[in-house]
Amino acid sequence: MLSIIKSPRKNLSCLTIVCFCLITVGFISCGKNNNSSTLGTDGNNTNSGNNISYTGSFVSSGVDDSSKATGTVSASFNTTTLQLDYTIAWKSLTSDPVQMHFHDAGPVIVKLTGYPVSQSGVFSGTCYLTSAQGGDLAAGYIYAMIHTKNYTAGEIMAPLVKQ
């Protein structure tokens, strides 16, 4: 009779330990942060879950523009920090660039400096937008433009489109 009483206690004791282990593992895994995070170029943590990718292809910027220049813009916008990381590539401009910037439905919002003054090139950088400009970016109102000696009003432009 004594062995019958001990046997259920052993089973109960093992079951208690197994349940305790499962509950502990559950609590530990619930505390983990599943947001993927990376180090930005400035060494700060940025949450990659807040980044939205944008691209654009350069086209002639006006009806009087007969340029055959081409190029692309690729960008990543962090909706938390309002940081826009971009790479602009262009080729076959009719003359050297004299200005390069981002527009918001017309007005210049970010003047770019330090780009190569050549008819073909690649340039990368970072800028910050306001909350309103971030909304305009999402709505498709932001575009990059390259002005050249031959086309001072702008030779090519690339509207940024969410990917």
The number of residues in the chain equals: 163
Domains defined for the chain, CATH in brackets: 51-162 (2.60.40.200)
Mean model confidence pLDDT for the chain: 80
CA nearest to 60, candidates 147, 126, 130, 163: 147
DSSP per-residue string spanning 12-61: HHHHHHHHHHHHHHHHHHHTS----EEE-TTS-EEEGGGEEEEEEE-EE-
pLDDT tens-digit map of 78-132: 999 999 999 999 999 999 999 999 999 999 999 999 999 999 999 999 999 999 9
Alpha-carbon span 115 to 125, nearest angstrom: 9
pTM reported for the whole predicted model: 0.70
Alpha-carbon span 144 to 154, nearest angstrom: 10
